[in-house]
């Protein structure tokens, strides 16, 4: 936390001393004044499930559709571009930041995009605990994002009351973004122990966790589709059906019904297979009350248990126990239909299922500490792919079908691994996709129209 997110040393005890768990009732025998982990899970559950999750996803997709609509750099003629990852990550990040943090964090910090991705690229170095004097560039990148968060916090506090976050309050405003950020701000201030820097570190962590892994995964999702013509055709069909009829063909941003995308068995299977292949997370657990036995193994109380999601994702025995058909194609290969199973009613219709994979498909971890943001991450990934497919045609030239770039192995153990090489591509606006009017040059932030 100190290295990656900038948590000040005088605040570390708040986290280190919280051994009360995440359940409403603290673990017996504990006595923690400020239950930070319980609050994080409670507030995440409130805002990242049900109606609040639906509204946040709709805002994200609307913002992203608006950005694609305003994108006049891509017309109806094919153009060559140097890197798909650079092209798409900026657009998705801006939409996600607006949906979660509001618009002012971008307006107040013109270099925010550049700083964020420089910071993300430095996280493998920061995670190793290398001291600042040996990695000054990595720490400088983190510090720029950290300062941007503080600037935004001050401005938002001056223009919007963070205590106005109850069930009847507005779900979102331009200053704080989601009301969730107000709830987090209020809890942190009410502790009386969290300084401005400690609160900024909290939201730096949220910014990173809500975006880096999801955007990395979204790129792999696009590549899975656009390197397989048959799969591209099926996905395009489902996406076109998600465009609401009242805006299709009109000169305004497309309105996408994300519900059909999220519920699609095929798209869910692609999503799950992308995470199986590209998420390399090292999970850590510790028996904290007594020794723990699992199978023929005994783990001592207080000793760390470490395991890799990639080992689990490629264990053929674990994947074939419940449904042997899941390993019809090797686990070393991407297979879009790996998570599709028969509905059992005699028809050819397929359903999405992860049944029997509790210990094999674990891209978000497991147990009570499973990633609380997994539902929004899924919808951010799938929503971004739907928006791309609705607005653009894409070709990966001079590559054989099924080609994939190398992964950036520096990120192994941290979550999703981004592409480790440039992805040259050809792109054009999809026929009939709307295009917005030119924007005033003064509205640009370092040349990025999409960060307005």
Q: Which segments of 196-300 does DSSP mark as H helices, in order?
A: 196-226, 229-242, 258-263, 265-278
Q: In angstroms, rounded to a whole number, what is the distance separating the alpha carbons of residues 111 and 444?
A: 11
Question: In the chain, helix, strand, coil percent, each to 5?
Answer: 50, 10, 40
Residues contributing to the annotated binding site for heme: 371
Long-range contacts of 228-233 (CB under 8 A, 24+ apart): 228/336, 228/401, 228/402, 229/401, 231/270, 231/336
Q: In angstroms, rounded to a whole number, what is the distance separating the alpha carbons of residues 203 and 199?
A: 7
Q: Which of 107, 165, 114 is nearest to 140 (CA)?
A: 114
Length of the chain in terms of residues written: 452
Cα within 13 Å of Cα(325), Cβ side: 9
Whether 329 and 317 have beta carbons less than 8 Å apart is answered as no
- Residues 6 or more apart whose Cβ sits within 8 Å of residue 61: 95, 256, 258, 383, 386, 387
Strands of 245-386, DSSP E: 279-285, 292-294, 297-299, 305-308, 340-342, 350-352
Whether 218 and 385 have beta carbons less than 8 Å apart is answered as yes
Whether 214 and 373 have beta carbons less than 8 Å apart is answered as no
Q: In angstroms, rounded to a whole number, what is the distance separating the alpha carbons of residues 301 and 299?
A: 7
CA 440 vs. chain centroid, Å, equals 31
Residues contributing to the annotated binding site: 371
Nearest 5°: CA angle at 214, between 73 and 374? Answer: 145
Q: Which of 370, 59, 373 is nearest to 210 (CA)?
A: 373
Q: In angstroms, rounded to a whole number, what is the distance separating the alpha carbons of residues 450 and 452?
A: 6
Please give the helix or strand (H or E) that residue 406 lies within, else none: none
Q: In angstroms, rounded to a whole number, what is the distance separating the alpha carbons of residues 166 and 414?
A: 35
């Amino acid at each position: 936390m100190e290295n990656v997110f900038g948590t000040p040393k005088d605040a570390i005890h708040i986290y280190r001393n919280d051994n009360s768990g995440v359940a409403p009732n603290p673990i017996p025998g504990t006595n923690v004044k400020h239950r930070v982990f319980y609050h994080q899970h409670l507030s995440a559950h409130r805002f990242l499930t049900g109606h609040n999750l639906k509204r946040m996803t709709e805002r994200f997709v609307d913002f992203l559709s608006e950005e694609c609509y305003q994108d006049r750099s891509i017309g109806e003629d094919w153009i060559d571009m140097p890197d798909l990852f650079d092209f798409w990550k900026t657009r998705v990040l801006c939409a996600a930041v607006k949906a979660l943090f509001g618009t002012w964090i971008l307006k107040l910090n013109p270099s925010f995009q550049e700083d964020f991705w420089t910071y993300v690229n430095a996280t493998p170095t920061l995670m190793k605990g290398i001291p600042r004097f040996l990695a000054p560039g990595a720490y400088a990148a983190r510090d720029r994002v950290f300062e941007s968060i503080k600037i935004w916090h001050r401005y938002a506090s001056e223009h919007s009351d963070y205590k106005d976050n109850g069930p009847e309050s507005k779900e979102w405003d331009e200053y704080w973004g989601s009301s969730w950020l107000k709830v987090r701000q209020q809890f942190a201030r009410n502790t009386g122990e969290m300084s401005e820097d400690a609160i900024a570190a909290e939201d730096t962590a949220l910014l990173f966790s809500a975006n880096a892994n999801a955007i990395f995964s979204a790129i792999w999702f696009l590549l899975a589709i656009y390197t397989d013509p048959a799969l591209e055709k099926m996905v395009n069909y489902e996406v076109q059906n998600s465009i609401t009829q009242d805006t299709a063909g009109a000169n305004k941003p497309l309105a996408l019904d994300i519900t059909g995308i999220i519920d699609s068995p095929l798209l869910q299977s692609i999503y799950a297979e992308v995470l199986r292949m590209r998420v390399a997370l090292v999970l850590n657990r510790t028996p904290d009350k007594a020794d723990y036995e699992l199978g023929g193994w005994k783990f001592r109380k207080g000793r760390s248990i470490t395991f890799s999601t990639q080992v689990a994702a490629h264990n053929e025995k674990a994947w074939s126990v419940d449904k042997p058909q899941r390993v019809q194609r090797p686990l070393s290969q991407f297979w879009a239909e790996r998570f599709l199973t028969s509905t059992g009613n005699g028809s050819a219709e397929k359903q999405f299922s992860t049944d029997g994979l509790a210990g094999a498909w674990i891209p978000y971890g497991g147990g009570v500490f499973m990633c609380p943001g997994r539902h929004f991450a899924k919808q951010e990934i799938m929503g971004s792919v739907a928006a791309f497919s609705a607005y653009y045609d894409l070709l990966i030239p001079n590559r054989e079908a099924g080609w994939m770039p190398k992964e950036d192995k520096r990120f192994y153990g941290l979550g999703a691994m981004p592409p480790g090489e440039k992805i040259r591509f050809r792109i054009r606006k999809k026929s009939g996709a709307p295009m917005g009017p030119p924007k005033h040059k003064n509205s640009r932030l370092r040349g990025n129209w999409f960060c307005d």
